[in-house]
């Protein structure tokens, strides 16, 4: 069965010597390996204000703290995501207001969001679902017009671009996840990207009990509650080795995705998604709409190809019952979208076979 997700691990003759060295180095907690990994990640993104954390969820939590979300504040978000996007809003007591999605790509619809903004709205969360980028031209305008910060959940969008730059350069807060099944994994890990030194300094303290690790404990004064969200040297060492492969790996996702965009564009029962203007997807999952989805998935599975919607909408959880509302476009999208394998492990022969199987019909 060709899987939908598959962690890339560097070859063992490259990874294991580096891991062995750090494991027996006497310094496995947060240290130089983490700072070196941060430096490489900053270069990759093109943003000097990136902070390594233990997970993407930690990065989301810190984003909402930095954005100043207090209990009762409204945060506009999307149900079309993995759970942590929205549970992290609940961590700071934010009240979720569900925006509706664009029915042609499942991404938050700027016009729906505009209609939901009130005086209580303190942040807008955008999820670049499956590596497709939200309509940033429209959202940047909205953010400016109402002076509301955007948090970009780019857990699926490492290597995606907006206006020619990597995602991670645009909004006040962008988060990445390095969890097992994402484009790049350090087993667990995450990044928070901000836009200035001040936000970075505060986040750096928040990730380690409220202390600034660059100074001795005697020179430190804790001024607000911090957490244990730091990355350790072992995860960072895996990340440093992963950085040698990141361009090659992500370009495999993108090549396969573009191949499907082209090869699937005129097939009965298949609708290619709309990509937002001025953006480039990194195709963490290949996403499309199909007619008779159940039958489609069955046909694919019997040909040895995984196909599924993968994520469950977030607005059905009891935790969010007070936010429940009708989302007609989400309804339409949610019943017809599906993912097919697209990542680094899908060979040219396999992607052609996948297209042939779809062409045969279901």
Ligand X SMILES: *Cc1c(COP(=O)(O)O)cnc(C)c1O
Note whether 245 and 233 are within 8 A (CB): no
Distance CA 160, CA 132 (A): 7
256 or 314, CB closer to ligand X?
A: 314
* Least Cβ distance, residue 130 to ligand X (angstroms): 9
21 or 312, CB closer to ligand X?
A: 312
Cα 202 to the center of its chain, rounded Å: 22
Cα 214 to the center of its chain, rounded Å: 29
Distance CA 246, CA 255 (A): 14
102 or 264, CB closer to ligand X?
A: 102
Helix (H) or strand (E) holding 166: strand 165-166
106 or 190, CB closer to ligand X?
A: 190
Pairing of strands 173-177, 190-193: antiparallel
Clarify whether 182 is annotated catalytic. yes
- Kindly report the number of other CB atoms within 10 A of residue 74's CB atom: 22
- Read off φ and ψ for residue 253, nearest 5 degrees: -60, -45
Distance CA 170, CA 64 (A): 17
Distance CA 209, CA 315 (A): 32
281 or 357, CB closer to ligand X?
A: 281
Note whether 2 and 350 are within 8 A (CB): yes
Note whether 120 and 94 are within 8 A (CB): no
| Interface positions with ligand X (CB under 6 A) | 55-57, 81-82, 84-85, 127, 153, 155-156, 177, 179, 190
Distance CA 60, CA 55 (A): 9
* Least Cβ distance, residue 224 to ligand X (angstroms): 22
- DSSP H helices in the chain: 12-23, 32-45, 56-66, 84-91, 110-114, 136-146, 197-206, 233-242, 246-263, 293-302, 328-334, 348-360
Q: Minimal CB distance to ligand X: which residue?
A: 56
296 or 337, CB closer to ligand X?
A: 337
Spatial neighbors of 334 by CB under 8 A, at least 6 apart, are: 80, 106, 309, 313
Active-site pick, 182, 205, 289, 324: 182
* Least Cβ distance, residue 119 to ligand X (angstroms): 28
Q: Which residues are catalytic?
A: 182
């Amino acid at each position: 069965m060709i899987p939908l997700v598959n962690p890339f691990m560097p070859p063992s003759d490259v990874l294991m010597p580096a891991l062995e060295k750090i494991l027996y180095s006497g310094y496995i907690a947060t240290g130089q390996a983490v700072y070196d990994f941060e430096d490489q990640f900053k270069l990759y993104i093109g943003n000097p204000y990136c902070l390594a954390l233990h997970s993407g969820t930690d990065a989301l939590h810190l984003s909402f703290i930095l954005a100043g979300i207090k209990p009762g504040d409204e945060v506009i978000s999307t149900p079309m995501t993995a759970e942590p996007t929205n549970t992290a809003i609940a961590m700071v007591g934010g009240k979720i207001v569900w925006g509706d999605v664009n029915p042609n790509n499942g991404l938050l619809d700027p016009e729906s969001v505009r209609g939901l903004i009130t005086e209580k709205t303190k942040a807008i969360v955008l999820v670049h679902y499956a590596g497709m980028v939200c309509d940033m031209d429209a959202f940047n305008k909205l953010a400016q017009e109402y002076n509301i910060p955007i948090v970009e959940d780019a857990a699926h969008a490492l290597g995606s671009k907006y206006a020619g730059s990597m995602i991670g350069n645009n909004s006040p807060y962008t988060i990445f996840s390095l969890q097992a099944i994402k484009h790049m994994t350090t087993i667990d890990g995450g990044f928070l990207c901000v836009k200035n030194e001040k936000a970075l300094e505060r986040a750096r303290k928040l990730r380690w009990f409220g202390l600034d690790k660059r100074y001795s404990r005697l020179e430190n004064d804790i001024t607000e509650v911090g957490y244990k969200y730091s990355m350790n040297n072992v995860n960072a060492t895996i990340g440093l080795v992963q950085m040698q492969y990141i361009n090659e790996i992500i370009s495999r996702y993108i090549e396969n995705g573009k191949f499907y965009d082209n090869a699937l564009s005129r097939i009965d029962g298949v609708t290619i998604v709309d990509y937002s203007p001025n953006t480039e997807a990194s195709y963490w999952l290949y996403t499309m709409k199909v007619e008779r989805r159940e039958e489609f998935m069955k046909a694919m599975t019997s040909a040895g190809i995984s196909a599924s919607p993968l994520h469950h909408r977030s607005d059905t959880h009891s935790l969010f019952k007070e936010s429940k509302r009708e989302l007609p476009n989400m309804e339409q999208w949610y019943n017809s979208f599906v993912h097919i394998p697209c990542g680094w492990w899908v060979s040219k022969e396999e992607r052609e076979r996948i297209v042939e199987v779809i062409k045969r019909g279901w």
